[in-house]
Amino acid sequence: MENLLSVNNLRVGFDKEGKILEALKDVSFSIAKGEKVALVGESGSGKTLLALSILRLIEPPGKIIEGEIIYKGKDILKMKEEELRKIRGKEISMIFQEPLSSLNPVLTIGYQVAEPFLIHTKTTKREAIEKAKELLKIVSISDVDRVANAYPHELSGGMRQRAMIAMALALNPSLLLADEPTTALDVTLQAQFLNLLNDLVEKFSLTLILITHDFGVVSETSDRVIVLYGGTICEDSPKAEIFKKPLHPYTKGLLESIPRRGEEKELKPIKGQVPPIGKFPAGCPFRDRCQSAFEKCSEKLPPLKEIENGRKVACFLYGD
């Protein structure tokens, strides 16, 4: 399959009093056109930073230290601002983690969904508003006129999230980055929204990176899972395999800490907590929480290796 995006050896850090604290360490993966990938990990594992890096939206004191982000054959990290503007929203768009903070409180929803058309295409305001309403219909908003004339605070969380996805789809992107799009919603609305997202992915032939800390969300919406911990990829596997037989101790821990349909078992949270950046142990970042840790784990970062067809894992329990 054709590669749409390849992230190669990406390192991102924060400058703290002249010292660089690494938040993403040597992250590499590729995504083929049409794939639906879930990026999973606890809070603080680096998921949002990875998505922001892809759009080159990391702000100081954060910075991309090195690596490549190849999109359709071109390195985003080497693009000029003008080229980047053609990528953001048009090729790659993002639904941000906090819908309220990414919507403008003083503009109506209709205007905000219409804005991409006004900025990037030659349309009149009236045409753009019409297009915005079309989009609001597509994201299953039935009372389009009311919603288009409303301000963000006048809408429910579910409606705001739908408006966000309408904005993200306006310019017909190829790749959608959805950062925890359902965390603000209650369980019923979550399921509804994920169904909608699935339908839209099909309808718009999107490639999807869905960011979540919740393995429950993964099963509905993806065909591949990338697990992130301490700014490194622990495991990268097809969804069915990862649920059947997780390889990395962290993936196992995450799966044991969530309820699974049709299975009655005691839930076991992973011991300990994600440390702040700069405080991860040397060697394997998961070492101080891992029950299988042994001597070698403190020596160096375990490399991500393919150990079965299509399955990659970064753990010294596997391989030579």
Ligand X SMILES: Nc1ncnc2c1ncn2[C@@H]1O[C@H](COP(=O)(O)OP(=O)(O)OP(=O)(O)O)[C@@H](O)[C@H]1O
| Max CA separation in the chain (angstroms) | 67
Measured from the CB atom, the residue of 98 and 143 that comes closer to ligand X is 98
What is the distance between the alpha carbons of residues 173 and 105, in angstroms, rounded to a whole number?
Answer: 25
Interface segment toward ligand SF4; rule CB under 6 A; list 25-33, 66-74, 258-266, 312-320: 312-320
Q: How far is the CB of 291 from ligand SF4 (least distance, A)?
A: 8
Measured from the CB atom, the residue of 49 and 170 that comes closer to ligand X is 49
Measured from the CB atom, the residue of 59 and 266 that comes closer to ligand X is 59
Q: Which of residues 277-306 bind ligand SF4 (CB under 6 A)?
A: 284, 286-287, 290, 292-293, 297, 302
Contact residue for Mg ion among 45, 48, 182, 190 (CB under 5 A): 48
Measured from the CB atom, the residue of 15 and 145 that comes closer to ligand X is 15
Contact residue for ligand X among 5, 10, 38, 49 (CB under 6 A): 49
Contact residue for ligand X among 5, 29, 37, 48 (CB under 6 A): 48
Interface segment toward ligand SF4; rule CB under 6 A; list 29-37, 212-220, 272-280, 309-317: 309-317
Contact residue for ligand SF4 among 249, 274, 277, 304 (CB under 6 A): 249
Question: Strand pairing partners for 10?
Answer: 27
Question: Residue 126's CB: how many other CB atoms inside 10 A?
Answer: 9
Reference 40, options 193, 186, 248; nearest CA is 248
What is the distance between the alpha carbons of residues 69 and 76, in angstroms, rounded to a whole number?
Answer: 5
CB burial string 250-274: b at 16+ within 10 A, e below: bbbbbbbeeeeeeeeeeeeebeeeb
Reference 255, options 310, 244, 264, 44; nearest CA is 244
Total residues in contact with ligand SF4, by rule CB under 6 A: 13
Question: Strand pairing partners for 308?
Answer: 311
What is the distance between the alpha carbons of residues 127 and 21, in angstroms, rounded to a whole number?
Answer: 48
25 binds ligand SF4 (CB under 6 A): no
Cis geometry, peptide bond prior to residue 246 (ω within 30 degrees of 0): no
Alpha helices in the chain (DSSP H): 47-54, 81-87, 99-102, 109-120, 125-138, 144-149, 157-169, 187-203, 215-221, 239-244, 249-256
3-state secondary structure of 7: strand
Contact residue for ligand X among 33, 63, 213, 311 (CB under 6 A): 213
Q: How far is the CB of 99 from ligand SF4 (least distance, A)?
A: 35
Measured from the CB atom, the residue of 24 and 297 that comes closer to Mg ion is 24
What is the distance between the alpha carbons of residues 55 and 92, in angstroms, rounded to a whole number?
Answer: 7
172 binds ligand X (CB under 6 A): no
45 binds ligand X (CB under 6 A): yes
Q: How far is the CB of 48 from Mg ion (least distance, A)?
A: 3
The residues binding ligand X (CB under 6 A) are: 14, 23, 41, 43-49, 62, 97, 213, 276-277
The residues binding ligand SF4 (CB under 6 A) are: 248-249, 284, 286-287, 290, 292-293, 297, 302, 315-317
The residues binding Mg ion (CB under 5 A) are: 48
